[in-house]
Structure 1
């Protein structure tokens, strides 16, 4: 039986499937070139280098005076006042925000209306107005008392002695912070799937247990980043307590700037760096708190900075090993 023309192919002419057409080095996948990214990166690096060069070489900044003032006792005393005011206001503001959020979500129209009115009022009035109003509160009410409503008073307080500068600052910041924290907490509670509420209610769990053990742990994943962002704003807002005669970090710097007018710029740089340190520390705490509450919600937890550094070094070593092998 004859074969059709051209059907017979010798083994020498047949291509071998296992024979590579190019050497292995030529078969490697080449990365996509991104010239726009490299141009943008170079431009940003040039701008950053110019800024750093200007900061280092401009004599107007007086870095020698900056080093002199940075750890002076007056600055550190003001820093401690800032930390104390911020810590107390953050705790009291968060507690007040939780109560306001629960009142807003309650079935009582009175509690819901009062919570909404409080939040609306303190989010509308500037913080400096609240502080100055509280600072002059003794002009409106010289005494405060505890007793029967619209009846006799059992205990009476002298408002001028009770409202110290620290008390005015903490109360003013806490009242303002509670209004914003209430919306943060309420938004976090609303972010929890409604099925979680229904399942907890179907099990017959008490409402307090439902909130503390089921709703709140899930809501914290949404509350944490938003409230920490608000907390950073609170740390910076402490600079306003200088206007109620409390010498915090900014107040101490402002006072020394009036005494030493030639050192105003380095003193402002001292306050700026300390505020950067405080907000950076809060951001670090935020990262680890978010990472803790992300357990069970993500397949893999976000790596810590140390883990990122180790992974980067391992990738560089692996790349160097592949290039050396080629």
Structure 2
């Protein structure tokens, strides 16, 4: 399936994936970051702010940035680690592809630099396979310890979903699959709570890390008649984030009103860091799919979304 490499106006390399039904994905080599995922109707499924800084030195606000080897400020490194602020390469020796029809794939790799070793003294290889097929975007990260000593890391794929206006009183954007779970609330000094709601809805800033989450989570958007289904393996936690109005205005690379039309639901390994011995490898997997739904008319019960997909 078609995989094209282009250079942006400033010379930054970008990979374009496409498949026969018409859906596309775009990946920056800077940060190994997916910055667009469009369905066959050319509707953008991921959020990217119009104030994004499209130049190396800072990750683009939106899409799917990669947080490694540290999530947030849970360690000594720069916020969310350095992987999202490094130039990746096409992987010259990717693992063999399993047979797949009508799938477009690119394999990327990030190796540590001498500067990285000064901040985080561990040698590693971080690989990322990005595959696009009809209605589905799959990311498979792998971290290999190429050092002579063990190390630990935390990891996240931050998914900026494009949603209808969640600031409206009548908004029916909701997350299902995280109810009854424990979470760390980063707005409350990372205190631990238990989710009491039947589903997560939004009326203000949210910054939480849900723990021991299921392999499937649904992000339901009644207004757009769309449900995102997030399936994940090897990443037991899920962060949920929206800055709301005050925090959005304080972020220089985010529009004042952008918080209304985005929602982050991550696949992550945070509470229990991953530890690798020399030559060991960790592998995760995230599969995003977008399905049409019309909950109000009863065409799709969102609760069945969590159980009805294999």
TM-score normalised to the size of structure 2? 0.19
Flag the structure with higher helix content. 1
Bigger Rg, structure 1 or 2 = 1
Task: Name the structure, 1 or 2, with higher relative contact order (CA <8 Å, separation 6+).
Answer: 1
